[in-house]
A and B are shown apart, each in its own frame.
Chain A
């Protein structure tokens, strides 16, 4: 211990910059990993915990398909009371807008208020009684408190946390949007910050079920019937018995089931982010390797002395591992703190994507828990120790006193690294093979494995590549460049074993960057083409809430007003609902096939005569489905798919498959009459409007908005604005990808700087000799920076080559398997060129600090023994 404090701690205190750089590298890596976990958790947490707390003491629930259960069917299931207490529930989202602030989503829960008490507790802060600001009474709701809720439509209990900052007190009213309508609610009481109100951060509204149906414009519908089993009942047995007795179209499930479906839906998206976050950590570990290497190298003679004084090999190893341990504990702790900050940013970056593509979620960053601390230390510390192990072992092999006798010169001028070439080629071949394997449980695990193996293959190739490059350019460099540049090249070729690991680290992060840019570039190009081919309508009308939930519908008046406009040639009325399919959820839609075929367009994948097939499908139990659905379910045009409907499962024929990039979980569209007949749902989610020839879309939009009037809040996009909106959502989806990558690259560049520093310490005597025989300080700087530039250029070249390989894996394997999207390969050459130049310059800049160190060396010690 004393040895540690003398030998390691004092040194760290004397060279705080080096220690700090390493700790920051680890911290960044750990922070990214933890932040992504927090982010992933947040997109589920908003949904799942709310779901769980709202389920209260419910043990089972009966659910319908699509837009909920028709109240009249409750009569058919009156026997549910035999199993315990039964309560109908309706849920929905309300949008609350305040001038100058982002719209907020309030979760509305409508319950049969008199019957619901056994299911949920409602700790009330204030009762409806006089709102004179006098001492607020706290306590459980009693029956008389609810009378107001029952009598007065629009009466609601809101969370105190929501009400207080907005000046809402019992008796005051506020307005919310539901679909295209504006609803006025009256505050009847305030909820304490507990249960759902707490989980949803105050964005929770409780109403009586009848008022809620009115507010949500879903009269006669409920979402589910909750069952609280009689005490002592076996849940499994009850579930099975209820399942047997339920009429077609209804099913019984555990409250957590929807959460799990959503989790599965998001799994691929989350896995993607997690994989990305580990790149930053991996690169951070290279930094640890570097730092400990520097420590070992610069102190060989001290180690030799220690060995001579009787410190064992194990002791030396332990010393350097302890250094890594101290740095990694510091780094992990710092990373944990950073993670919270970073998570706010990443949650903000991903919430648009998650709600645009998957579920409406409250984008709140979850607080750090002990679990995140465990994750931070459990990834940061052991991995850092592993990274430090190689140099620590190297240190332990220093012979006693040997460092002083010049017997342990570091190897220079190696032979061609044949083993590196062989290992690289074998790994790359293995990666290619892995890329051909199918998904596991809907996740492209082999695809990711292929990417990892390719990365390791490329890393093993680095020594061979460096060897060839250095030898190849040595002669031309000597003939064409200044002497210091030529020295830089020969230094590089002598230091291949040392440099390989940092070049590999940098090349790996760069290859990821290249792969991701190529993938995103290709994807964007593909989406752009798809949008231009399929977005044919002139105007798109949607409810002002634009969330796509079941309760976000257009009022019949609005639909009539639009259809009646003299500007309009045709309207495609579209309804979309979510339906459970297998262990996930898919989107089922109903649209006007004839309008779509006559005016619009879809980009069909199969069959060859898809348009004719679609026309024939009108009026039949047939669907056209998105590519991602058939890819994930291993189906094709002509096969059948069985969907649950309110009257039981129905088999639909797949008439055609079309390309779609709006959702990765599958969209099945049927002709409107079929949809209305099968799903007993006549609501409309959105309209695609085709204008008459010669009508200006912007003017038509204004006229339509005027026709709809002030009473309804609708969103009308022109074709052009929707296109740019789609690309905007697309870009925001990938903002996080770029952000994570940039962090990884920063860490990698820190690594290059560290390696150069190692090399300079290692070559100190040679540098002094150079100074002695007349090399100027500026020549030394130019040499070191030249070496850094060279490292940057070689890394970037390897990064480009490997990145292109990886982008193929991303595009043709990982994307297809996790999202079911076909992406056309497209090379964003301009971007890559710019990025390459920038990278090389950045590494050159990273060489400035080591160059400064080298420049300061005098000639003393030049005469020393090597």
Chain B
């Protein structure tokens, strides 16, 4: 990737579009504090990611970033409720504290009847809504999503987009989504087009 400049405001809803291999995922990894840039700077709120060590990056992800992926990626050994509680527990919150927050969010995405199910007992749409709850339970500043509807039928995809839009509005979380789906691009405040590791359009904007 070269010569990429992208800024997001609090509450932004940005869709990243472009053909496969254009660098969308790499950009998501960098913005999501999963990786440090080899050159250039990435800043999230007050932090400059390139200067942080692994522990600090981990803490940053734990506290400020949420993730949603194409393949849902819930932990198969935990129930849905436990999956959603996990980020809070990892951050050192007590389970008496974490459980109500997780329940509330799961209720918000309509999964209250499924709390004690394991991921493999859920449908794709349910898993993705669960993953969404997990990504937001710790009230992150940024939600990073990679093809969140890529593995869902259009009905379920529609529901996820509606939830994303609503949660963006309700919680004020900044959203950065890589997608091929025109429906998401349509719902976004801004669309950034990428090709061959460069931003073609939509890159301008104020820094976070």
Question: A residues within 8 Å of B by Cβ?
Answer: 406, 409, 412-413, 478-479, 483, 486-487, 490-491, 493-494, 765-766, 769-777, 779, 858-860, 862-866
Contact, CB under 8 Å: B61 / A776: no
**Which A residues lie within 8 Å of B89 (CB)?**
483, 486
A590 to B58, CA, bound (A): 84
- Chain B residues with CB under 8 Å of A487's CB are 77
- Bound-state CA distance A863–B68 (Å) is 8
Residue picked from A409, A479, A773, most chain B C-beta under 10 Å? A773
Contact partner of A765 (CB less than 8 A), chosen from B58, B73, B87, is B73
Closest 4 CB pairs of A and B: A774-B62, A494-B77, A483-B89, A863-B69
CB distance from B135 to the nearest CB of A (A): 8
Determine whether B129 belongs to the interface, using a CB cutoff of 8 Å to chain A. no
Are A773 and B62 CB-contacts (below 8 A) given A863-B71, A866-B71?
A: yes
On whether the beta carbons of A774 and B75 are closer than 8 Å, the reply is no
Q: Which residues of chain A have C-beta atoms less than 8 A from B76's C-beta?
A: 409, 412-413, 494, 766, 866
Bound form: Cα–Cα A650–B130 in Å: 91
CB <8 Å contact, B67 and A772: yes
CA distance A413 to B82 in the complex (A): 14
Give the number of residues in B that approach A within 8 Å (Cβ atoms): 31
Closest approach, in angstroms, between the C-beta of B79 and any C-beta of chain A? 9
Within the complex, what minimum Cβ distance (angstroms) separates A221 from chain B? 80
Q: Judge if B108 is at the interface, Cβ distance under 8 Å.
A: no
By the criterion CB–CB under 8 Å, are A777 and B54 in contact? yes
The distance from the CB of B170 to the nearest CB of chain A, in whole angstroms, is 22
Can you sample 5 A-B contacts with CB below 8 Å?
A: A413-B76, A486-B89, A490-B82, A776-B55, A858-B34
CB-contacts of B49-65 with A (<8 A): 54-55, 58-59, 61-63
Interface of B is mostly: helix
By beta carbon, the residue of chain B nearest A778 is B55
A774 and B87 contacting across the interface, CB-CB below 8 Å: yes
Give A478's nearest chain B residue, CB to CB: B95
B122: interface (CB < 8 Å): no
Additional 18 contacts, C-beta under 8 A, given A409-B120, A858-B34, A863-B67: A413-B76, A413-B118, A413-B120, A478-B95, A493-B77, A766-B76, A769-B73, A775-B58, A776-B55, A776-B58, A777-B54, A860-B29, A860-B34, A863-B69, A863-B146, A864-B71, A865-B71, A866-B71
Complex CA gap A862/B61 in Å reads: 14
Chain A residues with Cβ under 8 A from B29's Cβ? 859-860
Name the residue of chain B whose CB is nearest to the CB of A865.
B71
- Give, as a whole number of angstroms, the nearest-CB distance from A438 to chain B: 50
**B71 A774 Cβ-Cβ under 8 A:** no
Q: Is the CB of B95 within 8 A of A774?
A: no
User: Complex: how many Å from CA A774 to CA B89?
Assistant: 10
Considering the complex, give the chain B residue whose CB is closest to the CB of A484.
B90
Question: Could you tell me if B73 and A774 are in contact, using CB atoms closer than 8 angstroms?
Answer: no
Distance, CA A765 to CA B59, complexed state (A)? 20
Q: From B55, B90, B118, give the contact of A777 (CB < 8 A).
A: B55
Chain B residue at minimal CB-CB distance from A863: B69
B27 at the interface (CB under 8 A from A): no
A776 to B86, CA, bound (A): 13
> Is the Cβ of B73 less than 8 Å from the Cβ of A779?
no
What B residues does A772 contact at CB under 8 A?
Answer: 34, 61, 67
B78 at the A interface (CB under 8 A): yes
A859→B90 contact, CB < 8 A: no
Contact A779 B34 (CB under 8 A): no
B73 partner, pick from A490, A494, A858, A862, beta carbons under 8 A: A862
* Chain B residues, CB < 8 A from A766: 75-77
